[in-house]
Amino acid sequence: MFVRVNSASGLPLYLQVESQIKHAVAAGALKQGDALPSVRKMASDLRINPNTVARAYQDLERDGLIRTVPGGGTYVADHVPGLLKTEKMKRLRPYAMQLAVEGTHLRLSPDEIVKLVEDSLDELGVKP
């Protein structure tokens, strides 16, 4: 199982599950149509409450990243979520702000901060 949670991190557990699944999809570790473990399997593997996993799955489904077949499991969706551009930007803005704050605090130049993002995109294999 690729998901790991850390209860001491301060980040809600369902968000940790969500972001790791998103990451796995973005990085290609999970491909379209791949099955995800059942809520109970994921919960018992991670020793967390099943409702926590269910919440993460609900959010991911709402975002269009996964789809649930009633009685037949959960799968990575075939199409990337078709959010409006403004909505996409809005979701990402807090992360950008955090990066900007931390980067400035560490006295990195704006170019260096942008370079970090570009490097991360490179690592994921995303071409401009």
Partner 1 sequence: MTEYAITTAQLAKIYPGVRAVDGLDLRVPRGSIYGFLGRNGAGKTTTIRMLMCLASPTHGSASILGLQWPADRLAILQRVGYLSEKKLLFEAMTGRDLMRFNRPYFPRWSDEAAKRYAERLEIPMDRAFRKLSQGNRTKLCLLLALAQGAELLILDEPTSGLDPVVMDQLLKVLIEDYAGEGRTIFLSSHNLAEVEKVADWVGIIHQGKLLLEAPLEEIRADFRRVAASGNNLPAQPKAQIFSVASSGSFTEYFVRNDAERFAAGLRAQGAAVLETSPLNLEQVFLQLVKKEEPCISGNIGATPAAVSSSI
* 50 interacts with partner 1 by CB under 8 A: yes
* 71 interacts with partner 1 by CB under 8 A: no
Single residue of 25, 52, 56, 76 touching partner 1 by CB under 8 A = 52
- The owner of tokens 């704006």 is 110
* 17 interacts with partner 1 by CB under 8 A: no
Biggest distance spanned by C-alpha atoms of the chain: 53
Single residue of 47, 79, 105, 127 touching partner 1 by CB under 8 A = 47
Instruction: Name the one range near partner 1 by CB under 8 A: 6-14, 63-71, 90-98, 105-113.
Output: 6-14
Quickly count: other Cβ atoms within 10 Å of residue 12's Cβ: 14
The size of the interface with partner 1 (CB under 8 A), counted in residues, is 20
Q: Residue 73: beta bridge partners? A: 69
- The owner of tokens 């199409």 is 79
Spatial distance between the Cα atoms of 24 and 32, rounded to a whole number of angstroms: 11
CB of 36 to partner 1, least distance (A): 16
The rounded Cα 120 to chain-centroid distance in angstroms is 15
* 40 interacts with partner 1 by CB under 8 A: yes
Spatial distance between the Cα atoms of 100 and 44, rounded to a whole number of angstroms: 37
Q: What are the residues binding partner 1 (CB under 8 A)?
A: 5, 7-8, 10, 12-14, 39-40, 43-52, 55
